[in-house]
Amino acid sequence: MRRIFVILALLTFGLLSYALYEGMVAAPTEQTMGEVQRIFYYHVPSAITAFTLFLINFAVSIIYLARRNQKADALAVSTAEVGVVFCTVVLVTGPLWARPVWGIWWTWDARLTSTLLLWLIYISYLILRRYSTSGQTPVIAAVLAVFGFLDVPFVYLANRLFRTQHPQPVYFGGPGSGADPRMTYALLMNMAAFFCFAALVVWLRFRLERARQDFEETQALESLLQPDARSPR
Amino acid sequence: MSLGEITRVSLAKDLRLEWRSKDAINSMLFFALLVVVIFSFSFDPTAEESRHIAGGIVWVAFLFAAVVALNQTWARELRNQVLDAYRVSPAPANALFISKAVGNFIFVAVLEALMAPLFMVFYNLRSIGPAYQLVVVAALATWALVANGTFFAAMSIRTRSREVMLPLILFPISIPALLAMVSATTAILTGEGAYRFWVVLLVVYDVVFTTVCLLLFETVLHAE
């Protein structure tokens, strides 16, 4: 297991380095925005990774509610934590780009607001996990995950009425959309690299959570077997 | 006993308790009053523009005040292990949820009925759009707050520092509903804007989240 992890980590590191080179050096500079456009190669892959992780979190939360499978809960924690990190990257890189291009750091546009609210919802999910007394945490957290995910369409709809300032999708946007093939290549490379990186971190966090669950189980079992011995906790 | 009967008995018990103690309504009223006064210091409340921000202030005040009542919903049942007794009884869990949610709805509706005239006076408000629409929006918005609020209050009693926990999980989920109720109220007060869109959004929000609450309440109630 450890060897596979090291090999995957090395591969991910190589892919990230290559994608960094593609995004920063090989891809052509954008005509109107200039060098600052290159943040796009980090902003978009982070956003897609974060949304994918939240989607997985929703799916495994439902599996947990249906089957009470401990692995599903461990995966739910891992994806939520890593998803919040990637969502934070999106929220930080966005204003960095917006300041020189739009002239403002932040605007309450539909996509920005929705992402911020998504971030808030999953932060509250993590706070709930941290504060809840052990034993009931997975059930309550899974229920909140369902609520949080169902909230997303409402958040987006409610914000649609406000004027959207976020750039329209670059790809699949009808005629006139699309980008230089070198740019597309750099974006795809970064996307692949970010996905590998996220999968690696989630896997690590998942194993940690599984170890914690095993430890708790063993501890509970031991205290059952020796009722007079005080647990070290 | 049927679900309806259990709901009615449980609701009657809650209303009787509240009628005798007036714990929730008194603390909510005073809290909302404080919010009205404190907000009046942050801007000129009698100006003509106040109509544009009044919707936001009204609903933020009601939201904060509602949390006071919502936090007391289940705390009462924890004393003397009433909730544990309910768990082992064959009564359907949803009867308990519906009675608690309806009870909270009544408390918050009474608060709104008492506070609305005060807002009109203090903020010099006069509705340009038809005023009956405000009642529709208030009913939908209050249900959006108390259905999720009652549910999350049942979740937060399983955490440490539960009083703090409720707003932390309720507010992020309620933001789209809050946006809808504020925009609808402002649209009615100023007589401009898409009132209908927000009401439809509130209706859909109410239906979706009430359904999820009913589906998942038993799980939360029986979570050890």
| CB spacing of A155 vs B201 below 8 angstroms | no
| CB spacing of A151 vs B173 below 8 angstroms | yes
Exposed, middle or buried: residue B173 (CB in 10 Å: 0-12, 13-18, 19+)? buried
Q: What percent of chain B has pLDDT over 70?
A: 98
Distance CA B219, CA A140 (A): 9
Alpha-carbon radius of gyration of chain B:
18
Residue of B nearest to A143 (CA): B216
- Read off the pLDDT of each residue in B133-157 and give the average, rounded to a whole number: 91
Query: Does residue A145 form part of some domain?
Result: yes
The total domain count for chain B is 1
Is B179 an interface residue toward A (CB < 8 Å)? yes
Query: Does residue A8 form part of some domain?
Result: no
Distance CA B143, CA B223 (A): 25
Is B180 an interface residue toward A (CB < 8 Å)? yes
Interface of chain A toward chain B, CB-CB under 8 angstroms: 65, 117, 120-121, 123-124, 127-128, 131-133, 135-136, 139-140, 143-144, 146-148, 150-151, 154-155, 157-159, 161
Residue range(s) defining the domain that contains residue B143:
3-221
Q: Nearest Cβ partner of B216 from A120, A143, A148?
A: A143
Three-class secondary structure assignment of A173-216? CCCCCCCCHHHHHHHHHHHHHHHHHHHHHHHHHHHHHHHHHHHH
Q: Nearest Cβ partner of B173 from A123, A147, A161?
A: A147
Q: What percent of chain B has pLDDT over 90?
A: 30
Mutate to test the interface with B, among A64, A68, A139 (most CBs of B within 10 A): A139
Number of Cβ atoms within 10 Å of the Cβ of B97 = 24
- Tokens 């990230």 belong to A16
Distance CA B28, CA B106 (A): 13
Query: Does residue A24 form part of some domain?
Result: no
SS3 A34: strand
| CB spacing of A132 vs B159 below 8 angstroms | yes
- Under 8 Å CB pairs connecting chains A and B tally to 84
The structure tokens listed for B39 are: 């907000």
Distance CA A107, CA A162 (A): 11
Q: Measured between beta carbons, which residues in chain B are less than 8 angstroms from residue A136?
A: 158, 223-224
Question: For chain A (length 233 residues), average pLDDT per consecutive 10?
Answer: 84 88 79 77 89 93 91 93 94 87 79 87 92 81 91 78 58 57 84 90 92 89 75 52
Query: Does residue A1 form part of some domain?
Result: no
Query: Does residue A220 form part of some domain?
Result: no
Is B212 an interface residue toward A (CB < 8 Å)? yes
Q: Which pLDDT value is given to residue B102?
A: 94
The sign of the dihedral angle between the CA atoms of A86, A91, A93, A97 is positive
Query: Does residue A217 form part of some domain?
Result: no
Q: Nearest Cβ partner of B172 from A65, A124, A150?
A: A124
Q: Measured between beta carbons, which residues in chain B are less than 8 angstroms from residue A121?
A: 172-173
Q: Which pLDDT value is given to residue B46?
A: 67
Number of Cβ atoms within 10 Å of the Cβ of B209 = 22
The total domain count for chain A is 1
| Residue (of A38, A158, A51, A94) closest to B200 by Cα position | A158
Q: Which pLDDT value is given to residue A165?
A: 57
Residue range(s) defining the domain that contains residue A147:
36-212
CA distance A124 to chain B (A): 6
CA distance A228 to chain B (A): 25
Strand partners, A30: A34
| CB spacing of A151 vs B219 below 8 angstroms | no
Query: Does residue A198 form part of some domain?
Result: yes
Q: Which pLDDT value is given to residue B21?
A: 86
CA distance B183 to chain A (A): 10
| CB spacing of A128 vs B219 below 8 angstroms | no
